[in-house]
Amino acid sequence: MTFRIPRLPRIAGTAAGAAALAFCAVHANAASTPVSTPASAATMHVSGGRYGEVAVTKPSVAMRGFTVLFSADKHWSAADQTRADALAQHGALVVGVETERYAQNLAAVKNETCHKLYSDAEALSHQLERQLGSSEYYAPIAIGSGEGALIAQRMLSQAPANTMAGAVSLDPAAKLDARFAPCPADPTLSRGNGLPGFFEQGVTTKDVHAATSGAPRAFAPSVADADKIVALTSNHLRLVTESEEDVSDLPLVELPAAHPTDMLAVVISGDGGWRDLDKTIAEALQKQGISVIGWDALRYFWSERTPEQTSHDLARVLKTYGSRWHAQHIALVGYSFGADVMPFAYNRLPDTLRAKVSYMSLLGFAPDADFQIRVTGWLGMPASDKALQVRPELAKVPPSIVQCVYGAGEKDTLCPALANTGIDVVKTNGDHHFDGDYNALAGKIIAGWKKEIAARE
């Protein structure tokens, strides 16, 4: 069974769009030799972009995670399938990758001097989880032993924040094949403290008591590799729970200011998730005394939402953190997908909460709003036939509280049409990522917000 991915003409200027394009575009380079190893009944073979053909093993219980398992040797074997089946029994959807085939396909790419290995896993996680109807989005966990362990390590070490859940390394090899050529992490993007996800490492040793706190976990030679990998991975496979009493069911990131003011910003990310421009801007706001709640749009809008449901959940966030952090002034900030849905959410807030919102900054604002993450969105295609027009919704928002920021190179933006409406329209250099000076952009948001606060007092 092979999933057919339509050929699409252009991509958005985002990391998520680039990853999706990489998935679609590399089939010409992928080896076509099918995986010959017998698989379990729950396994199917699909086309996996630069991985080539992969063996996908469905979880035998409720799905709790998405994993990419690299073959222990050059080719996928019965032993590898045993490892995949063991992970599937714990709720993992497992993508089995032949290490040698992946290396060959990367070597065939002529327009890259290094490779963003995490993007291959991310693009495949988007595609497969959507195709298989997962109601929640799970970021990839990279798993490997031998050389595969090194691939998993490098993927995590180069990934932006919130693109990978983590990595599992068992008995890593001494050296990585030069054909993988992993790029270094992008220094312009914030990645938090340390690695952007969990890292578990195991080693097989005769002295199983040798490991100390913080060292790799030691396993006896008699323990099967499948059991070792499950032991390192299973605690990181998660169950999603929901609660009306609190906000623990929402994909939020808390960024309290070290020296807080009475200002709170809620930042809804673009469809690539909490990882890039939105995360970096939020941290710039935090450094200037503004406490921030980050909202991961990729995870929240993975299943279709309504404007009413989005507003209801926004109200829960504002009530919870407005009280917890003693906020007197609230700003709503949205980037791209997050900007498009923001007016709908604001207009449906209860009157008392809407009155506390003194500013709305819309970054990369488009004419239409989808309420579900779509593959076509990652590839820069027009909105779906379910998309809602944002102009009538924005007209209901007091123009004095709205800021619309766009890049001079952006083509699909509503901001220029809002000139002379009372909305603060801000033009920057660059395209959908503006000029890359996110600290300056945060400064523009704060300046406009403080001006509106002063006008109210």
**Count of other CB atoms within 10 angstroms of residue 216:** 19
Query: Residues with Cβ < 8 Å from 253, sequence gap 6 or more?
Result: 274, 279, 282, 293, 294, 295, 296
CA distance 264 to 261: 8
To the nearest 10°, report the CA torsion of 398, 403, 408, 411.
-50
Sign for the CA dihedral angle at 332, 337, 341, 343 comes to positive
Specify the pLDDT at position 38.
42
Mode of pairing for the β-strands spanning 92-97 and 53-57: antiparallel
Counting as low any pLDDT under 70, the low residues of the chain are 1-41, 189-194, 207-214, 239-246, 375-384
* Alpha-carbon distances, residue 416 vs 127, 244, 404, 409, 428 (angstroms): 34, 40, 9, 12, 12
In whole angstroms, what is the distance from residue 420 CA to residue 222 CA? Answer: 74
- The pLDDT value recorded for residue 395 is 95
Domains of the chain (ranges; CATH) run 15-236 (3.40.50), 252-456 (3.40.50.1820)
Looking at the DSSP bridge assignments, the partners of residue 425 are 404
The sign of the CA dihedral 445, 447, 452, 457 is positive
Could you write out the DSSP letters of every residue in 295-336?
Answer: E-HHHHTTS---HHHHHHHHHHHHHHHHHHTT-SEEEEEEET
pLDDT value at residue 381: 53
pLDDT tens for 186-237 read 877 656 656 778 999 999 987 655 444 457 899 999 999 999 999 999 989 9
The two three-digit tokens of residue 427, written as one number = 């033009």
Long-range residue pairs from 248-252, CB within 8 A, at least 24 positions apart, any chain: 250/295, 250/300, 250/313, 250/316, 250/317, 251/295, 251/296, 251/299, 251/300, 252/293, 252/294, 252/295, 252/296, 252/317
pLDDT of residue 197: 85
Structure tokens at 424: 């603060």
Q: Please say whether the dihedral angle defined by the alpha carbons of residues 428, 433, 439 and 444, taken in this order, is positive or negative.
A: positive
pLDDT in tens, 332-364: 999 999 999 999 999 999 998 999 999 999 998
